Amino acid sequence: VTCPCALSLATPTALSAATGNLLGRGLLTTSSRGLEMLARCTHVVFDKTGTLTRGQPVVTDITTCTDFDRQAVINIAAALELPSEHPAAKAIRACANDNPLMATDIHSFPGAGIRGVVDGQDWYLGNPAFINEHCPQAVLPDTTKSGEAGTGTRILLADSTRIAAEFLLTDELRPGAADMVRRLQASGKTILLMSGDNTAACQHIAALTGITEVYANMKPDDKLAHLKRLQHQGAVVAMVGDGINDAPVLAAADASIAMHGAAQISRATSDMVLLSSDLGTLASSVRLAGKTLKIIRQNLAWAASYNLLALPAAVLGYVAPWMAAIGMSASSLIVVLNALRLVRTEK
């Protein structure tokens, strides 16, 4: 009459049904623990570029400083960015002519910039903080023009003493991003935006999506430190990102989701991978993860209750053999049927 099968089936059947449902929606789940932590998460952290935005920035303005030739500085920047697969690097390379220069001794500083040698001279390409750190003699240009744009990311090119050019890159918000954030907030999740981009660009995206907690100009170490502070305070954190710089944070998060087209290392360190660009999948997946946890609890409660009631009844002689056979089979069948509710969960 006892049915240990019901207990052993309670969790894996629900997880299998849920992961199959998620895959059909476009979310590949590689970790059952990640699915559980997604259901329990209290905070959801988003990167900006390539996550909330399309990840296809374009150079909308190039300002040369002092007496530098416009095409020359573009070619120098493109040479420095040649080995990089970052979306910003691709945007800058697209501005170069057909005869790009070659850079040597290239060193990358994740989330900040890049240094290299072009025609025997050291060049630095990165955000204002990076240029200020490595080229202290260089005078940063006036940000009035960039501030008017309000949506752009500033990338500066400098030698050891002077700023040569400023590139302004803009990126479009992904369709459905605002609705996804609203749905997550409605389910009680705290939404954060953490990005290495400047404050103006981050605030612009936050305003479009309804995110109120924004952290800009963050290096990968800064993101990781802030995530660990949240966890130390008792938060269960889900991280959504796409770049190489996001890999450490994705690995440290309680649940992690890599975006469609994310860097290989980000996909490898994530619990889930979004297979499409539809951000609505994230909100519905969080809801499904919560329902999965509820059904697992229901299955375990039913299996435990059945065995606790059926065994004493059988010992006392109240259960005939044919009743025991039916009861044992029905117990497992109920667990499986309950788990199958996850297959047809509404979107």
Q: What are the residue numbers of the active site?
A: 47
Q: Kindly compute the dihedral angle of the four CA atoms of residues 120, 136, 113, 169, in this order, to the nearest 10 degrees.
A: -110
Give the contacts of 264 (CB within 8 A, at least 6 positions apart): none
Backbone dihedral angles phi then psi of residue 103, each to the nearest 5 degrees = -110, 145
Tell me if 331 sits within 8 A of 2, measured CB to CB.
no
Tokens for 145, please give them. 């023009």
Q: Which residues of 15-32 are buried (b: 16+ CB within 10 A; e: fewer)?
A: bbbbbebbeebbbbbeeb
Tell me if 169 sits within 8 A of 58, measured CB to CB.
yes
C-alpha distances in Å from residue 74, one per residue of 100, 176, 203 = 9, 34, 28
CA 118 – CA 103 distance, rounded (Å): 5
DSSP 74-140: HHHHHHHHTT---HHHHHHHTTS-SS---EEEEEEETTTEEEEEETTEEEEEE-HHHHHHH-TTSPP
